[in-house]
Amino acid sequence: MTPSEIIRADAIERGLDPAKVLTYVAAMLKQQKVLMLQKNNSVLILQRIEDNNASLHLFTEDSPLTLAKSIKYFIDKIAASDLRAVYGKADNEQIVEMLRRLGVEVQESDNPRYNWMAFV
């Protein structure tokens, strides 16, 4: 699947307007305010926030096993970057649990805009 197909399908599953989500992501990419990574049928959007930190948003159409492989790839890419910490707002606790199983020390966020964080 292409990134736009993944984002569209994920948005529909979450009850979001896929056109609005795609327009927003496209605008952020064009303005170079986000970075997009893709592995298999998963897309990770990274947006830098203060102090070498980034917020993350995952769009996925992967099966659980393939998703674990995709997340491992994303973890490796982030670990090789200059980021200090990553933040997320998970509406699916299974994603946070998968991160923990893959060795990420997920904590409660120190930023009220997000519900979890992890140091890189």
Does the structure show a pLDDT above 90 at 30?
yes
* Domain extents in the chain: 3-119
Give pLDDT, residue 102. Answer: 92
pLDDT in tens, 10-23: 999 999 999 999 99
Specify whether the CB–CB gap between 41 and 1 falls below 8 A.
yes
Nearest to 78 by CA among 35, 31, 29: 35
Give pLDDT, residue 70. Answer: 97
Cα 34 to Cα 24, 45, 92, 94: the distances in Å are 11, 6, 22, 25
Cα maximum dimension of the chain:
35
pLDDT in tens, 51-100: 899 999 999 999 999 999 999 999 999 999 999 999 999 887 888 999 99
* Residues paired with 53 in a beta bridge: 49, 85
Give pLDDT, residue 17. Answer: 98
Give pLDDT, residue 92. Answer: 79
Give pLDDT, residue 16. Answer: 96
- pLDDT confidence band for 44 (50 / 70 / 90): very high
Give pLDDT, residue 19. Answer: 98
What's the CATH class of domain 3-119? alpha beta
Give pLDDT, residue 120. Answer: 87
The pTM of this model reads 0.93
